[in-house]
Amino acid sequence: MTGSPSAAQVTGLTALPPRTVEFRGARGGQAALTWGQQGIWRSTRWLDDGDPYFNLAWTLPVTGAADLDAVLRAVGRLIERHETLRTAYVPDGKGTSQRVSREGRLTVGVYEAAAKPMSAAKALAAELASTGFDYAAELPIRCAVVCLKGRPRALALALSHLALDGWSLNMVAAEWPRLVAGEDLPAPEWQPLDQAAFERSDPPPGSQALRHWRTGLASAPRSMFDFPRREPEEPRFVRYGMDSPAAAIAAEALAARHGVTTSSVLTVACAALLGAVTGHRTAALQLIVSNRHHPRMGGMAGPAAQDGLCVIDLGDGTFADALGPGHRRTMATYRNGHYDPALVLAAWDEQAWRRGADIDLDAFFNDVRHAGRWQGLPPVDAGDPAALAALRGRTRTFFVGAYAKVKAKIFFATGPAPASCEFYVLVDTAFLPGRTAERMLAGLEELLVRAVTEEVPLDRVAQVAGLEPVRRPAGWTAIGPDWVSLPETEALLRRVCAPGPAALAVEDGGDGTPRLTGYLVAHPGLDTPEAVHTAVMRAAAGRTDVLAPHRYVLCPAPPATPAGWAGCPRLAEGDGRTPSPATTVLGR
């Protein structure tokens, strides 16, 4: 397998003859995908073939007096050391597996820069990463050396996210100057092939994480986006960014005051902003969990991150009140992020079957900071309003880009900046306008800064942050943690039960909470609660505006008047949830 950089179209670069790097690693082999690889692989399948969304553009400096041959040897040693850099992802009859080639070659571009080689290398890396990888036939790495006056000064890289995650990038960056210097580094003790074998051991790991997911799925809103869709913008997904030293200073002050981490402060702030916009008192976010707690995984190059479910109760108190409980939920999520995806998907489907609607958890937060911390923040006293106000004058917001397809309705993320709160918000404009992403950034800063000096009630977060909550039309009501359109739900029930009549009622569930009851006339094929629930779930697939009734009442004939359903004779009644053919009905 070879990686062939295209001819550079970067201003100030002159292409020289490319070089070939041959490599021979300690072993090759084939195995099932690791759980971390599965997460990235599923996301790539959601995109069109050739989409570069999961490509990583990266640059590494070349310092000292190393010549081109030394740099090329270092590239070869890097690929030999880390099996993930010589891995293809191939069909195996059961799905997809990882196949590690023991030996091969890589074509490396060589370019001469007129000036500023690192800047040129960054532009070249972006070009190399602008086309998707052929995961089955191509090495997950493309690279080129940028020289100045014949001396290598930078390495431009395009990497597949299937090969490396953020943790791996930091590890490779630390190894790179030592490899260029010719140092003989000890071989990694743990590789994705080893991880795949461990994840399929008996008993398998992840039982506690599965329990964490089950608990979260039962308490989370079935969607944070249970409101009418809007006409999406074009392109549909937009991302904005912010650089705010003031937000970082404020987050550090709040973390120290309440005995929590800055990562937890940011997580709770994201939950509060999202809850304020969507009208939810409970917010569910998927956190990207690095899964590097175990020492052997700490030294593994390759994707290990998985999504962890964090459900935060926003309650009736203040933002400060939510920080302690939110921190505990955040830390529990990070401790329980390593699990068998197939088992979590099964639990997801089972809970959807019980809840009566697809569970949509497409809201994410990714804290990419090294060790979840900032270093080198400006020495500003967060308790000095004038100093903090002056620091806010340095805040910068900016448009990042627009995308046709992303597997998220909202995605919060930090950036790696060590001396400022670099923060990003991406939104699906079919649910939230693009301007909301930009306003959330300013709102995040305002919320954090204000919370340092005053109590901010959670029910005033939208006002404080300058956000406009979504407006649900008449007929929408809260049923537990979910919002539902009663007219649309009744219309769906009637379509499912046609040609017989049907009706929907909101009734007391016995514990003071409202529950939906579906009344209908039984007929062949729809003569048990289980049959009706199966049909309703099929019809409701993918919708966030409807909720299957919690109880079904089947009658022999309709009442004389629409208000008479509750007094009709009953052939059968029940919730229809058991037995559960959830995975078949939901199409998993």
CATH number at residue 580: 3.30.300.30
Nearest by Cα to 283 from 294, 273, 295: 273
Could you tell me if 41 and 145 are in contact, meaning their C-beta atoms sit under 8 angstroms apart?
no
Strands 29-32 and 96-100, by their bridges, are: antiparallel
Cis peptide, bond prior to residue 499, ω within 30 of zero: yes
Rounded to the nearest 10°, the torsion over CA 110, 115, 118, 121 is -40
Judge whether 557 lies within some domain.
yes
Nearest by Cα to 276 from 150, 432, 139: 432
> Which of 438, 465, 492 is where one domain is finished?
465
What are the tokens at 194?
Answer: 């080893």
Same domain for 155 and 64: yes
Same domain for 97 and 56: yes
Same domain for 64 and 172: yes
pTM of full prediction above 0.85: yes
CATH number, domain with residue 7: 3.30.559.10
Distance CA 536, CA 539 (A): 5
Sign of the CA dihedral with 377 first, then 378, 383, and 386 last: negative
Number of domains in the chain: 3
Q: What is the DSSP letter of 7?
A: P
Burial group, residue 265, by CB count within 10 angstroms (0-12, 13-18, 19+): buried
> What is the span of the domain harbouring residue 500?
476-584
Judge whether 390 lies within some domain.
yes
Judge whether 216 lies within some domain.
no
- 174 Cβ contact list (under 8 Å, min separation 6): none
Same domain for 152 and 16: yes
| Residue 510: per-residue pLDDT | 79
Same domain for 179 and 36: yes
| Residue 588: per-residue pLDDT | 45
CATH number, domain with residue 391: 3.30.559.30
Same domain for 167 and 40: yes
Same domain for 274 and 185: no
| Residue 583: per-residue pLDDT | 46
| Full pLDDT tens readout for the chain, 588 residues | 555 555 456 788 999 999 999 999 999 999 999 999 999 999 998 888 888 989 999 999 999 899 999 999 999 999 999 999 999 999 988 899 999 999 999 999 999 999 999 999 999 999 999 999 999 999 999 999 999 999 999 999 999 999 999 899 999 999 999 999 999 999 999 999 999 999 999 888 999 999 999 999 999 999 999 999 999 999 999 999 999 999 999 999 999 999 999 999 999 999 999 999 999 999 999 999 999 988 889 999 999 999 999 999 998 899 999 999 999 999 999 999 999 999 999 999 999 999 999 999 999 999 999 888 999 899 999 989 899 999 999 999 999 999 999 999 999 999 999 999 999 999 999 999 999 999 999 999 999 999 999 999 999 999 999 999 999 999 999 999 999 999 999 999 999 999 989 999 999 887 888 999 999 999 999 999 999 999 999 999 999 999 999 999 999 999 999 999 999 999 999 999 986 555 455 444
Could you tell me if 84 and 140 are in contact, meaning their C-beta atoms sit under 8 angstroms apart?
yes
Judge whether 203 lies within some domain.
no
Please provide the DSSP assignment of 393-434 as one string.
TT-EEEEEEEES--S-SEEEEE---SSSEEEEEEEETTTS-H
| Residue 1: per-residue pLDDT | 57
> Which of 435, 465, 495 is where one domain is finished?
465
Nearest by Cα to 186 from 81, 85, 84: 81
Same domain for 272 and 165: no
Could you tell me if 280 and 479 are in contact, meaning their C-beta atoms sit under 8 angstroms apart?
no
Distance CA 286, CA 206 (A): 17
Q: Give per-residue burial for 560-585: e unless 16+ CB within 10 Å, then b.
A: eeeeebeebeeebeebbbeebebeeb
| Residue 513: per-residue pLDDT | 86
Same domain for 24 and 144: yes
Distance CA 247, CA 243 (A): 9
Distance of CA 558 to CAs 489, 507, 554, Å? 19, 19, 10
Judge whether 45 lies within some domain.
yes
The half-sphere exposure of 526 on its side-chain side, counting CA atoms within 13 A, is 26
Same domain for 233 and 156: no
| Residue 48: per-residue pLDDT | 85
Residue 583 φ/ψ, nearest 5 degrees: -65, -30
H-helix or E-strand containing 35?
A: helix 35-46
Residue 86 φ/ψ, nearest 5 degrees: -125, 40
Same domain for 9 and 45: yes
| Residue 5: per-residue pLDDT | 56
Judge whether 471 lies within some domain.
no
Could you tell me if 428 and 364 are in contact, meaning their C-beta atoms sit under 8 angstroms apart?
no
Q: What is the DSSP letter of 83?
A: G
Judge whether 480 lies within some domain.
yes
Nearest by Cα to 188 from 78, 294, 98: 78
Judge whether 212 lies within some domain.
no
> Which of 137, 165, 198 is where one domain is finished?
198
Same domain for 167 and 96: yes
| Residue 92: per-residue pLDDT | 87
Sign of the CA dihedral with 22 first, then 25, 31, and 36 last: negative
